[in-house]
Chains A and B, each alone.
Chain A
Amino acid sequence: MNQVIVAENLDVGYERKKVVENVNINAMKGQMICLLGPNGAGKTTILRTLTGLLAPLKGTVSINGNDVEHIGKDALAKELAVVLTELLSLGYLTVFEIAAMGRYPHTNYFGKLSEYDIKIVRDALTAVDAYRLKDRCFSELSDGEKQKVMIARALVQQPKLIVLDEPTSHLDVKHKVEVIKILQKLCAEKGITVILSLHDIDLAIKACQIVLLVRKGEIVAEGTPEEVILDGTIQRLYDIEGAHYNELMGSLEFDNTETPEFFVTGGDGTGAGIYRALSRAGIGMVCGILHTNDIDSYIGKTLNCRIIEENAFEAIGDRSFAEAKAVIEGISCLVDTGFPLRHGNHRNLELLKYGIAEGKTVFSLCKKENLFARYGPWANRIEVCGSVCQLIQRMKQEKGRGKNDDYWNIADEG
């Protein structure tokens, strides 16, 4: 592998205002490198400096061994192409004409296209799946199509490096995926190096070989997504407030700040959706007992709910069971999410039965016909809810009833 673009000890910014300092990038052939960070962190400034649109304040950028500042603009255009965020109004230019503009550094004085040039344009449009649009006007295209055409234009320059500033903003999921897949293909098949900035954390983690985290004027981390994106990285990078991000799940959940008034079971994914729905409805809860490797546990924690946990691959033990019982004593309602009963989590059913015995209301999302098999003689003491919607309605009616203030005061202090 050989180096395509190298930035060393780079300080970037405008005149006297330094935006990001000490940027080091070493991009190899065929690599996809992503700058990730909040708005205003300096991603665009870094990209502008890498592409020679902005002179570095300190340090150097070299492309294939040539300093970007000293290489001629036309020579640079054969090495490097860009896709910018600028909104273009290209009037009556057709998609083909727009892509063909990428031949600019290669064609003669009048920009006359040779057979070879036309083939390059055709191939590029085909590569981004936009050849069928070739006679359409730019203004008639959707945002996703426009972005693909701009990538084709960059490709037509036959560069070794393509730099894209937020190429997936404004795009729907389908087009986001398409654009990223196109770029991945360019890296893998044509050996083009791609440097881009992204707002989609998911896409960055899953598609790029290297990520650079940019935060408040410095590169806080650089490496493979697996090395760089750890628990809490994203939370800190973006200073997210009022929500939590789970790096493993790639999921963002809004914080549930309500006082817990319900005990909601779960397990095997039966809880995640309900936890979210209850949080959305402004209902506080304690979730349990969940195994540490259960998706319900991850989502519940990210929702900022209290979780009573058991070690993965172990049957529910006395410690967690006792903890759950203590919680149930202080609340008036329990919810059975309809989790499958297995050897490891059988004691969750015991907890629900304990609740009934203690005179608590128990809601279940199980089907009525399964109730007897699940609860035996206790079945007629269970209130079945046909849907989460109905459950929430009932829970809101129960809310605040029989609340034990002393208990919650203690819990809050703990």
Chain B
Amino acid sequence: MGKKSRQRMMITVLMGMTLFVGILSISVGSVNIGMLNVVKIMLGMDVGNPVYSSIVLDIRFPRLLAAVIGGAALSVSGLLLQIFFRNPIVEPYVLGISSGASLFVGVAIMGGYRFGLSGIGPLYLFLGAFAGAMLVMIAVCCAAKKVHHITTLLIIGVMAGFICSAGTSMLTSFADKEQIANYVTWTLGSFSGFSWMQVKFLFFLNAPILIAVFLLSKPLNAMLFGENYALSMGLNIKRFRMAIIVIASILTAGITAFAGPISFIGLAVPHIVRILFHSSDNRVLIPAVIVLGALMTAVCDFCARMLLSPVELPLSAITSLIGAPIVIYLLVTKRSEL
């Protein structure tokens, strides 16, 4: 069982790296705090500068947690969709789920004031994003019943994404400048300005779902063989299909609502994990995808903040710049499959 212990070791290493990147990312910025001080503050020790505590605990730590939770959620969502559609290039962003969420968030941000709401609460944003994500996913799945070819389905998803984007751009032509600016900033993706309340919301939304996904490892493994085989092995396909749709939508919607549509994490992370762990067994993949998703998103967020500091780069630009070459490299050199 050398493979198993090696996999366990790798997960531990990835967790360690996440912790390191996390502390590093909290320690640097417009104010450099130092990693030791960060650790001290986290452990509740006094570092002699109340501003440091405030920066760490109120600004940078919630931001990091959001990146970690969001990254894990997006990656797992990507993994689920790749298995569900039996296609290695599927992710929430590609399938139009993110676009659906964007449209409804757009409605919320740009139309919210019009409906007489003074501010946009996290629940409201989330409900908008969730409704959008679900709508696209259900549309794609309705189409799935009619078409047998999986590539067709993928194209339908992409088209649904275009339709949502069209809706969004029409919406922007009616909105006023300030709202558009708000919305555009949101679409570029960013973890900045996360409040503890939003982090808690994300955590309590995603944690139970991630556990649930892990509990679905066995049917997910069966799904690798395709629906017919899965059915012949005794899997209740209809219920399972519904579960995957709901789960992938919630995971995508939660993070998209607050941080905007973030590309490539959901696509790249499952591939990297498969190749690193040399496994397609979801009992191994799911925990590893959660950890690597968190790590990669934390790294991307760190880069977005620090590369051209003090200017903060859009997160999606960084995830694409880092994720796309990695995927190409892995595909070219290692021939990754599902």
Q: Is A109 an interface residue (CB 8 A)?
A: yes
Contact flags A66-89 to B (C-beta < 8 A → 1, else 0): 000000111111101110101011
Choose, from A98-106, A256-264, A302-310, the stretch at the interface.
A98-106
Contact residues on A (Cβ < 8 Å of other chain), bracket:
20 to 34
Q: Is A297 an interface residue (CB 8 A)?
A: no
Q: Is the CB of A82 within 8 A of B217?
A: no
Q: Is the CB of A92 within 8 A of B274?
A: yes
Q: Is A326 an interface residue (CB 8 A)?
A: no
Contact of A93 among B86, B226, B281 (CB under 8 A): B281
Q: Is the CB of A104 within 8 A of B281?
A: no
Task: Tell me the complex Cα distance, A89–B215, Å.
Answer: 23
Interface set of A (CB-CB < 8 Å, partner B): 51-53, 72-78, 80-82, 84, 86, 88-93, 97, 101-102, 104-105, 107, 109-111, 139, 157
Q: Is B165 an interface residue (CB 8 A)?
A: no
Chain A residues within an 8 Å CB radius of B233: 77, 101-102, 104-105, 157
Q: Is the CB of A86 within 8 A of B221?
A: no
Task: Tell me the complex Cα distance, A86–B225, Å.
Answer: 9
Q: Is the CB of A91 within 8 A of B225?
A: no
Q: Is the CB of B234 within 8 A of A90?
A: no
Q: Is the CB of B218 within 8 A of A73?
A: no
Task: Tell me the complex Cα distance, A109–B283, Å.
Answer: 12
Dominant secondary structure at the B interface: loop
Task: Tell me the complex Cα distance, A385–B299, Å.
Answer: 81
Contact of B337 among A97, A111, A139 (CB under 8 A): A139
A90/B225 contact (C-beta < 8 A), A73-B231, A101-B233 known: yes
Tell me the nearest residue of chain A to B281, going by C-beta: A97
Contact of B222 among A51, A89, A101, A109 (CB under 8 A): A101
Tell me the nearest residue of chain A to B87, going by C-beta: A89
A109/B218 contact (C-beta < 8 A), A73-B231, A92-B337 known: yes
Taking CB atoms and an 8 Å cut-off, the chain B residues in 308-338 that contact chain A are 335-338
Task: Tell me the complex Cα distance, A114–B235, Å.
Answer: 20
Taking CB atoms and an 8 Å cut-off, the chain B residues in 51-100 that contact chain A are 86
Tell me the nearest residue of chain A to B284, going by C-beta: A92
Chain B residues within an 8 Å CB radius of A51: 232
Contact of B280 among A74, A77, A92, A105 (CB under 8 A): A92
Dominant secondary structure at the A interface: loop
Chain B residues within an 8 Å CB radius of A105: 233-234
Tell me the nearest residue of chain B to A90, going by C-beta: B224
Q: Is B236 an interface residue (CB 8 A)?
A: yes
14 more contacts with CB within 8 A, not counting A72-B234, A82-B228, A90-B337, are A53-B231, A73-B236, A86-B229, A88-B225, A89-B86, A90-B280, A91-B336, A91-B337, A91-B338, A92-B277, A93-B279, A97-B281, A101-B225, A110-B283
Task: Tell me the complex Cα distance, A109–B235, Å.
Answer: 12
Task: Tell me the complex Cα distance, A107–B234, Å.
Answer: 11
Task: Tell me the complex Cα distance, A109–B281, Å.
Answer: 15
Task: Tell me the complex Cα distance, A84–B338, Å.
Answer: 19
| Most chain A CB within a 10 A radius of its CB, from B86, B217, B233, B338 | B233
Contact of B221 among A52, A78, A111 (CB under 8 A): A111
In the A-B complex, the 5 residue pairs with the smallest Cβ-Cβ separation, listed nearest first, are: A77-B234, A74-B234, A91-B280, A111-B218, A91-B337
Tell me the nearest residue of chain B to A77, going by C-beta: B234
Q: Is the CB of A80 within 8 A of B215?
A: no
Task: Tell me the complex Cα distance, A91–B331, Å.
Answer: 12
Tell me the nearest residue of chain A to B285, going by C-beta: A92
Q: How far is the CB of A93 from chain B (nearest CB, A)?
A: 5
Task: Tell me the complex Cα distance, A73–B235, Å.
Answer: 7
Chain B residues within an 8 Å CB radius of A91: 224, 274, 280, 336-338
Contact flags B260-279 to A (C-beta < 8 A → 1, else 0): 00000000000000100111
A80/B232 contact (C-beta < 8 A), A90-B225, A93-B280, A111-B218 known: yes
Chain B residues within an 8 Å CB radius of A101: 221-222, 225, 233
Tell me the nearest residue of chain A to B277, going by C-beta: A92
Q: How far is the CB of A114 from chain B (nearest CB, A)?
A: 15
A90/B222 contact (C-beta < 8 A), A73-B234, A84-B229, A111-B217 known: no
Tell me the nearest residue of chain A to B222, going by C-beta: A104
| Most chain A CB within a 10 A radius of its CB, from B222, B232, B283 | B232
Task: Tell me the complex Cα distance, A86–B232, Å.
Answer: 13
Q: Is the CB of B228 within 8 A of A86?
A: yes
Task: Tell me the complex Cα distance, A336–B174, Å.
Answer: 95
Tell me the nearest residue of chain B to A165, going by C-beta: B228
Tell me the nearest residue of chain B to A85, going by C-beta: B228
Chain B residues within an 8 Å CB radius of A89: 86, 337-338
Taking CB atoms and an 8 Å cut-off, the chain B residues in 96-121 that contact chain A are none
Chain A residues within an 8 Å CB radius of B274: 91-92
Task: Tell me the complex Cα distance, A226–B19, Å.
Answer: 73
Q: List 13 A-B contacts (CB under 8 A).
A: A74-B234, A77-B234, A88-B226, A89-B86, A90-B337, A90-B338, A91-B224, A91-B274, A91-B337, A92-B274, A97-B281, A109-B218, A110-B215
Q: How far is the CB of B58 from chain A (nearest CB, A)?
A: 41
Q: How far is the CB of B154 from chain A (nearest CB, A)?
A: 15
Taking CB atoms and an 8 Å cut-off, the chain B residues in 206-232 that contact chain A are 215, 217-218, 221-222, 224-226, 228-229, 231-232
Task: Tell me the complex Cα distance, A107–B235, Å.
Answer: 13
Chain B residues within an 8 Å CB radius of A110: 215, 217-218, 283
